[in-house]
Amino acid sequence: MYSLQKALSIENQSIDFNLLKLNKAEINTIENNITNVHPIVSGIQGELNLFRKHGLDSLKKAKLMNRVDTKFVIKRMHLIQIMRSLQSNYSVLSINNKEISPYENHYFDTHNMEFYTAHHNGKLNRYKVRHYIDSQLRFLEVKFKNNKKRTIKSRMKVSDDSYSKIDSFVKKNMGGCMPELHIKQISGYQRIAFANESIGERITIDYDVWYQSKASEPVLELDDLCIVEIKQKSYNAQSSIFDLLKTLGYAPTSFSKYCIGCALLYSEDIKTNRFKQMIKKHVNN
């Protein structure tokens, strides 16, 4: 019988082996250079120092594991302006005194990429399964997009003590189904997360997005776009961030990092019609 538990155990052993090859000085160098990737981004930390901070467990109204998401794809040149507009009403997530978090995601899909295909075909009641990794924390996440266009996330911490619960967690949160899953995409980005607790709203900004089909393949980088995602209990376009983005010429989009990555990495093997215009507008432009 197929077991995701076994697959993740093997994967994490490989990840740990690779991390051991980096000594502490090298790791610190990588972390200290996170904000120096691009000249415009180099001023991010100075802006973040002006925000109030919150921790992972600080939020009550703005946790939003059951929510409505609205996405915008913006040019990097507008990143600082958008951040400044948030300073008076939003706090920034800070973990171990760091406000910029490097994300690495290993996305699972079936052999025939049924999760990707469901999204491409506009099917609701669809799933994504993601293994989020950094040097200290690992989470397995099942994301469900229901037929009311709500996003429902279920997440568990992956550790030596929790491997035995992985299969039952996935099966429970996929409606009793346990398909055979394989890593179809490795991707990453830098993330900044803001919250307005008074109105129950979170905003994430992802930049320096990159993709690989597997760890041995070349990295595909999207270096001139940022993805702004507004997370709300129910859709509310009266939030001030909507007005600013509209003024800058941006409109909501259904940009999916996973699906866009698959369309770029596997363009010769899968249907990509739904995403061609989006790629032309946001990636190739």
Residue count of the chain: 285
**Residue 22, both tokens:** 């980096």
CA distance 172 to 201: 28
Taking only the tens place, the pLDDT of each residue in 10-55 is 777 766 655 554 444 444 544 454 444 444 456 899 999 999 999 9
In order of start, what are the domains of the chain with their CATH numbers? 4-282 (2.40.320.10)
Backbone phi, then psi, for 176, in 5-degree steps? 90, 5
Taking only the tens place, the pLDDT of each residue in 49-88 is 999 999 988 877 666 667 889 999 999 999 999 999 999 9
**pTM score, whole prediction:** 0.84
* Residue 272 · residue 90 · CB < 8 Å: no
Query: Is residue 229 within a helix (H) or strand (E), and if so which, with residue range?
Result: strand 225-232
Taking only the tens place, the pLDDT of each residue in 235-256 is 888 888 999 999 999 999 988 9
CA distance 177 to 194: 34
CA distance 260 to 275: 7
Q: If you average pLDDT over every residue of the chain, what do you get?
A: 86
Cβ atoms within 10 Å, residue 121? 11
Question: pLDDT band for position 284 (50/70/90)?
Answer: confident
CA distance 72 to 246: 10
**Residue 184, both tokens:** 């179809």
Question: pLDDT band for position 191 (50/70/90)?
Answer: very high
User: Who's near 138: CB < 8 A, 6+ residues apart?
Assistant: 12, 131, 132, 157, 158, 159
CA-CA-CA-CA dihedral for 106, 108, 109, 111, to nearest 10: 90
* Residue 233 · residue 200 · CB < 8 Å: yes
Question: pLDDT band for position 92 (50/70/90)?
Answer: very high
Taking only the tens place, the pLDDT of each residue in 140-167 is 999 999 988 888 999 999 887 888 899 9
